[in-house]
Structure 1
Amino acid sequence: MARKSTYNVQPFRSETEIDDFLFFLRRTKNSKRDVFLFLFGLNTGLRMSDIVKLRVGDINKPEPIITEKKTGKKKRLFLDGIQDIVQEYIKDMKDDDYLFPSRQGGHITVNTVYKLYIKIGHELGRDDIGCHTLRKTYGRFYYLKTHDIATLMYLFNHSSEKITKRYIGITDDDAKSSLKGFRIGVKGGEM
């Protein structure tokens, strides 16, 4: 019997990788929706199952709070950093409109997003991009900027640092890179 291969979704590791992905998203039939969904996911860290079902009214308020599908827990959204693009995207929409409408009516599905991301991933020569790439990228960029693993664990509802670091793709190479040139109390070559 053939062994089933594991599909290991990875985060984007650089702004260049994000820009490359956006290049293809800007050429889709629904580019405005697809680009906003991508940027919204990158900047909120929400699961795709929570993103696709959002309505305009869910986020068009000073302190939006949603209920996560997977955990059933309430989660506050921090949209300050992307409020400009949120307002631009929703300016002609009603509060009861789906944020990410399908052409067939209703909202787009996680599977639709997944297929699109797989297709673009293949265009980029990658087989490790999927819906969770956005959430993992959010975590990775947040951690590399702040090194605040405790808050990230809270945001992701993870029970350990090890789980969170593995989830966002922090490896020994990342640790080695961050320690390059790190020295305390050493002046020049003197002891």
Structure 2
Amino acid sequence: SRRLDRLVRDLLELARLDARQFTMHQQSIDLSQAAQRSLEGFRPSAQAADIDLVFSSAPSAAHVNVDPDRLAQVMANLIENALRYTTSRITLGVALEGGYATLSVIDNGPGIADEDLAHVFERLYVSRHQPKNTESGSGLGLAIVRELVEAMEGTVQVASTLGSGTTMTVSFPLLP
């Protein structure tokens, strides 16, 4: 029932994105504070699964111009994905790099096969290399992440090593 509800919400979100029937309410926010709040919302489910959630942040504020609700949706999709595949630890980090604030979600799950890396942000793409003990996703969450991040003038990247884990990194230009 939860999975079906999520699928319907994701399909509706993609339809709104396609039709450009969504509104961005971009404002200056501190990415570190937003990320920490988002991570705290997942602490109960992580504890129930015996997964450690770790937060690390740049020592100075990381002010970016984004829609806070859409950013929360992006972070939720990335953290939920990491929870689905990780075995013991997820690190959410915020850093400042060359005029950008980066948000990284790092897991120690099974990783993503090289042939899948180029496709993870495509709609309905589900790897054939899913671990047997995990419930596969719909193939919509990361497509939504990419479209929302790009609509907020950011970028999203994935790096992964099979057998070691995955890092999803979202970057937004820093505000002066």
TM-score, L = length of structure 2: 0.27
> Where is the helix percentage greater, Structure 1 or Structure 2?
1
TM-score, L = length of structure 1: 0.25
Q: Choose 1 or 2 for highest CA Rg.
A: 1
Q: Say which structure, 1 or 2, has more relative contact order (CA 8 Å, 6+ apart).
A: 1
